[in-house]
């Protein structure tokens, strides 16, 4: 992987003073994880190029680590090749003064806007090329993003997740480098990188003056901090303006911080609205009149159902008294006529409950993934066998799609309380088993926009007797 910096400022060899590296020589810096080489393929008066190449030792990366991730992924990964967090670390150590905008011999040039072209390759673009554009375009750089083929000998295999990025601008070298040392790690979704608590300080120092107002501030912070929620919250709170802080405090007082985090991850899709609308429409099209909302949370689905007179009786069941209280508060705002068709019950779905028998349909919207896998069987029995409504709708995240969420670190769940997230195949296998065990037929529908490779962000099983 490499980073290449070219300037046509005159004399272009001033670049050596900015980088604190003599253009006449090759430089080598050793790290625990490999070596960085910095050299100048071109060093003339009119044009000077410095190249930083990182040579990662994959064995050194593994040394002293457990086998937590599995042996294969420890050795077979993109670390030696991709412009990852390691490149940012190497930049921080090899050209620190340039990033900080300090030059012993040419401070005036370090402070000046000079013509620059910077190339980074191969840059991991987890979440697609569009992410790279959204992150770099706000700076006003001239951007070129070239996809890299998976295999040049097999063009039919298509593009890899990596791109070559070229940024052109007339600006301070320190500015462009600072943007890169923050955004490169944010683009790199790998877990292999340890996030220390002082990482927030580093991020805020490097982001000073631009991160506060970057339109993708949340995405950058979330990905830079690898999904470490307490650090993200701290960083975002410190970046927020006074008005924003007030807004965030309201969310926190509301007690729905975790849900807020899940919403941030899924927000660009307004996925939860899509889910709830689809479930409400499906219940309607099934002709259900008396319905259960199992794990109703604060009553968002109930709020939709109650608007339609077809639903003459709506019963919400929820284990958490906090959520139940919130649902009740929502209910109290409804007109009397609507309110009287709704009943809220406190209950745990893993226990049989005679109050839930005899309904037309039940919805479990984003509930099953909150149940420990080894207790899911009890929920199946109490819902499909004991309550046994004519129809059951079950929605759950599609884990295949997680790779496409820009703010979700690899291998993480969308919500802290999720006990599992199933791929499409896993959900289908579960649905198949449950349907045949309890005498239901089923179909599975995608929820949200369908990606050709990863499917839709969420999935709904429709079980009917």
Interface with ligand SAH (CB under 6 A): 295-297, 300-301, 318-320, 323, 348-350, 365-367, 370-371
CB of 438 to ligand SAH, least distance (A): 18
List, as one string, the DSSP characters of 393-453: EEEEEBGGGGGG-TTSPTT--SSTT-S--B-HHHHHHHHHHHHHHHT-EEEEEEESPPBTT
327/431 with CB nearer ligand SAH:
327
CB of 366 to ligand SAH, least distance (A): 4
* CA 32 distance to own-chain centroid: 29
124/295 with CB nearer ligand SAH:
295
129/386 with CB nearer ligand SAH:
386
28/417 with CB nearer ligand SAH:
417
CB of 408 to ligand SAH, least distance (A): 17
Residue reference for tokens 């009397």? 336
β-sheet with 34-43: strand ranges across: 27-31, 34-43, 48-56, 2-7, 114-124, 159-171, 142-149
CB of 457 to ligand SAH, least distance (A): 14
CB of 395 to ligand SAH, least distance (A): 8
Other CB atoms within 10 Å distance of the CB of residue 383: 27
CB of 393 to ligand SAH, least distance (A): 11
Residue 240 and residue 221: Cα distance in Å, rounded?
12
Residue 259 and residue 267: Cα distance in Å, rounded?
11
CB of 388 to ligand SAH, least distance (A): 17
Positive or negative, the CA dihedral 207, 212, 217, 221 is positive
Beta-sheet strands, E only, within 80-136 = 114-124
Local structure of residue 334 (DSSP, 8 states): S
226/304 with CB nearer ligand SAH:
304
122/297 with CB nearer ligand SAH:
297
Query: What's the chain's length in residues?
Result: 465
278/323 with CB nearer ligand SAH:
323
CB of 367 to ligand SAH, least distance (A): 4
Tokens of 304: 């939709």
Local structure of residue 23 (DSSP, 8 states): T
For residue 169, CA distances in Å to 97, 206, 299, 418 come to: 20, 19, 51, 44
291/365 with CB nearer ligand SAH:
365
Continuous segment of H or E residues that includes residue 85: helix 85-94
5/279 with CB nearer ligand SAH:
279
CB of 384 to ligand SAH, least distance (A): 15
Which position's Cβ is nearest ligand SAH? 297
Tokens of 423: 């791929």
């Amino acid at each position: 992987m490499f980073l290449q910096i070219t300037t046509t400022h005159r004399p272009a060899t001033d670049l050596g003073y900015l980088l604190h590296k003599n253009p006449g020589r090759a430089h080598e810096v050793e790290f625990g994880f490999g070596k960085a080489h910095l050299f100048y393929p071109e060093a003339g008066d009119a044009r000077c190029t410095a190249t930083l190449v990182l040579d990662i030792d994959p064995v050194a990366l593994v040394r002293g680590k457990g086998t937590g991730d599995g042996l294969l992924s420890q050795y077979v990964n993109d670390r030696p090749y991709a412009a990852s967090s390691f490149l940012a670390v190497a930049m921080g150590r090899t050209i620190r003064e340039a990033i900080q905008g300090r030059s012993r011999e040419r401070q005036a040039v370090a402070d000046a806007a000079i013509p620059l072209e910077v190339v980074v390759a191969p840059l991991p673009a987890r979440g697609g090329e569009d992410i790279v554009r959204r992150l770099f375009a706000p700076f006003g750089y001239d951007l070129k993003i070239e996809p890299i083929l998976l295999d040049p000998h097999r063009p039919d295999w298509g593009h890899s997740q990596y791109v070559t990025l070229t940024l052109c601008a007339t600006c301070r070298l320190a500015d462009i480098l600072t943007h890169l040392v923050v955004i490169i790690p944010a683009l790199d979704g790998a877990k292999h990188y340890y996030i220390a608590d002082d990482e927030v300080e580093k991020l805020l120092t490097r982001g000073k003056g631009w991160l506060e107002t970057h339109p993708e501030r949340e995405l950058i912070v979330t990905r830079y901090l690898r999904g470490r929620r307490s650090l993200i919250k701290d960083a975002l709170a410190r970046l927020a303006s006074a008005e924003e802080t007030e807004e965030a405090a309201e969310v926190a007082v509301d007690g729905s911080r975790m849900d807020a985090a899940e919403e941030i991850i899924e927000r660009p899709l307004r996925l939860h609205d899509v889910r709830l609308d689809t479930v409400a429409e499906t219940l309607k099209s099934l002709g259900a009149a008396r319905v259960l909302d199992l794990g109703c949370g604060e009553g968002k689905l109930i709020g939709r159902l109650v608007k339609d007179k077809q639903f003459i009786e709506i019963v919400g069941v929820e284990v958490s008294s906090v959520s139940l209280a919130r649902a009740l508060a929502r209910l109290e705002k409804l007109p009397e006529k609507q309110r009287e068709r709704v009943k809220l019950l406190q209950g745990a779905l893993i226990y049989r409950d005679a109050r839930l028998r005899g309904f037309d349909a039940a919805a479990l919207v984003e509930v099953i993934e909150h149940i420990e896998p080894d207790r899911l069987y009890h929920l199946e029995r109490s819902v499909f066998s004991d309550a046994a409504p004519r129809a059951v709708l079950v929605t759950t995240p599609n884990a295949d799609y997680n790779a496409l969420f820009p703010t979700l670190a690899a291998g993480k769940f969308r919500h802290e309380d999720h006990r599992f997230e199933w791929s499409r195949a896993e959900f289908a296998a579960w649905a198949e088993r449950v349907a045949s065990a309890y005498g239901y037929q089923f179909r599975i529908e995608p929820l949200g926009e369908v990606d050709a490779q990863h499917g839709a962000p969420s999935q709904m099983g429709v079980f009917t007797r």
